[in-house]
Amino acid sequence: MRIREMTITPVAFRDPPLLNATGVHEPWALRSIVEVTTEDGITGLGESYGDAAHLERLHAAAHELIGVKADAHHALYRRVAASVGTAVVTDQHGLTGGGSNSKTVDAVFSPFEVACLDIRGKATGRRVADLLGGPVRDAVPYSAYLFYKWASHPGAADDRFGPALDPDGIVAQARLLIEEYGFTSLKLKGGVFPPEQEAEAVHALYDAFPDLPLRIDPNAAWTPPTSIHIGRQLAGVLEYLEDPAPGIEGMAEVAAEVPMPLATNMAVVTHEHLPPAIAHRAIGVLLMDHHYWGGLLKSTQVAALCATFGIGLSMHSNSHLGISLAAMTHLAAAIPNLDHSCDTHTPWQDGQDVIAPGALRFTGGAVPLPPGPGLGVELDRDALAVMHEQYEKCGIRRRDDTAYMRSFRPDFQPKRGHW
């Protein structure tokens, strides 16, 4: 089961103009598709970020992994760590917290680990979820991920989702996503408009869907006092309040004063953030993301830690394709203490994918665990070729929502502790 070969293919897919605290999604989202093949000819799949600097690190790590056994988790990790060295990478888009060396290693390791689990599952006829302790649920519930958005990328025709720039637009978007996917909980990406205006949108969602759990995520665009004010205003309305203010200290200040749990994928994004966050009671819910928590096995360990400390669990998402959705679904299926619906950008990818259709589907807002073996998904090589060509042609080499926004609004400033 030694690794013989690695292929890393950068891809691009169309992305709508989704607004957030740092700017607006560009017309193309980037990902990397990792294929790991063993000496006995089994290929496993992984998916990660597509930024040029990350691709370079993936290639460097891949080179070091040739010849290592696909189930030698610790050995693979050490090789990746050695390849990353002392690099500290902070995401360019500013939406997944600060950088650290451990987070950098974890992010580079992740797609290889997922691919190796896929291999192990295929080699033994087991699902990845079985390798993680076995599923505790047959389907994983996801949340409708609502975004303020323009009707179209400037200069292009309107996309089919339409504009969402006020409470009515957000409610209409929620209605569309619920109709198409059956979602049973709703998350609003905030940090775009003044907080009171976004709180109005949450109230509008509550009025329209009184039975659905609600969340808002301003990506740390608010100050602690604003977060406390809005948090109190939304008492009884929100399931949790996600990353209202920056940093562990800011979150702790807010957590002590609002009635709902605070969730994060920004203040606590790597192992060394957990001790201070726990000591300061900064968070009530951790949004795991195997793409930067070191893959699936390490994510189950973080989940176990959260169970020990009484921290709730949900799951974070960046724009992604089907390999990531499969990995997220296997992971979430195998975590007993996952107690909130997961995030996913899947609706915004609107049918574009690198995997063959049929393996993943939404029913009642949940993705049934694919039967496997492994991740249970296979590459659609034609689709992969098209998406790789799109990558070659699109001209984007790293995600930069701020620069794209500034191409239309030169005075735009990313919001961090702004309001």
- Whole-number Å distance between alpha carbons of 19 and 169: 13
Alpha-carbon 39 to chain mean position:
32
The kind and range of the H/E element at 115 are: helix 101-124
Q: How far is the CB of 26 from a copy of itself (least distance, A)?
A: 35
At 236, the amino acid letter reads: G
| Interface with a copy of itself, residue 73, by CB under 8 A | yes
| Interface with a copy of itself, residue 136, by CB under 8 A | yes
β-partners of residue 214 are 186
| Interface with a copy of itself, residue 100, by CB under 8 A | no
Q: Which of 93, 122, 189, 320 is catalytic?
A: 189
Let me know: does 412 contact 221? Beta carbons within 8 Å.
no
Closer CB to a copy of itself, 171 or 311, in the complex = 311
β-partners of residue 23 are 20
- Compute the Cα dihedral for 37, 32, 318, 57 and give only its sign: positive
Indicate which single residue of 90, 124, 363, 413 sits in contact with a copy of itself (rule: CB under 8 A).
124
What count of Cα atoms within 13 Å lies in the side-chain half-sphere of residue 104? Answer: 22
Q: Please count the other Cβ atoms lying within 10 Å of the Cβ belonging to residue 86.
A: 6
Please provide the size of the chain in residues.
419
Interacting stretch for a copy of itself, rule CB under 8 A, among 84-92, 125-133, 178-186, 285-293?
125-133
| Interface with a copy of itself, residue 407, by CB under 8 A | no
- Greatest C-alpha distance within the chain: 60
Q: How far is the CB of 75 from a copy of itself (least distance, A)?
A: 6
Indicate which single residue of 336, 357, 364, 395 sits in contact with a copy of itself (rule: CB under 8 A).
336
β-partners of residue 130 are none
Indicate which single residue of 189, 298, 316, 399 sits in contact with a copy of itself (rule: CB under 8 A).
298
Let me know: does 157 contact 145? Beta carbons within 8 Å.
no
Site for a copy of itself in 147-206 (CB under 8 A): none
Q: Which of 187, 316, 340, 415 is catalytic?
A: 316
**How far from 376 is each of 48, 179, 289, 313, 372, CA to CA, in Å?**
18, 26, 20, 24, 4
Interacting stretch for a copy of itself, rule CB under 8 A, among 54-62, 184-192, 273-281, 366-374?
273-281
| Interface with a copy of itself, residue 103, by CB under 8 A | no
Site for a copy of itself in 232-271 (CB under 8 A): 271
Residue 316 bears catalytic tag: yes
Residue 189 bears catalytic tag: yes
| Interface with a copy of itself, residue 82, by CB under 8 A | no
Closer CB to a copy of itself, 128 or 171, in the complex = 128
Question: At 399, is the secondary structure helix, strand, or coil?
Answer: coil
How much is the CA Rg of the chain, to the nearest whole Å? 20
Structure tokens at 99: 């950088």
Let me know: does 192 contact 198? Beta carbons within 8 Å.
yes
Closer CB to a copy of itself, 294 or 370, in the complex = 294
| Interface with a copy of itself, residue 101, by CB under 8 A | no
| Interface with a copy of itself, residue 274, by CB under 8 A | yes
Indicate which single residue of 87, 305, 356, 394 sits in contact with a copy of itself (rule: CB under 8 A).
305
| Interface with a copy of itself, residue 71, by CB under 8 A | yes
Nearest CA to 270 out of 289, 284, 285 is that of 289
- Whole-number Å distance between alpha carbons of 177 and 172: 9
| Interface with a copy of itself, residue 134, by CB under 8 A | yes
Interacting stretch for a copy of itself, rule CB under 8 A, among 85-93, 133-141, 166-174, 260-268?
133-141
Let me know: does 27 contact 6? Beta carbons within 8 Å.
no
| Interface with a copy of itself, residue 75, by CB under 8 A | yes
List residues with catalytic annotation: 189, 316
Binding site for a copy of itself (CB under 8 A): 69, 71-75, 123-124, 126, 130-131, 133-136, 271-272, 274-275, 278-279, 297-298, 300-302, 304-305, 307-310, 334, 336
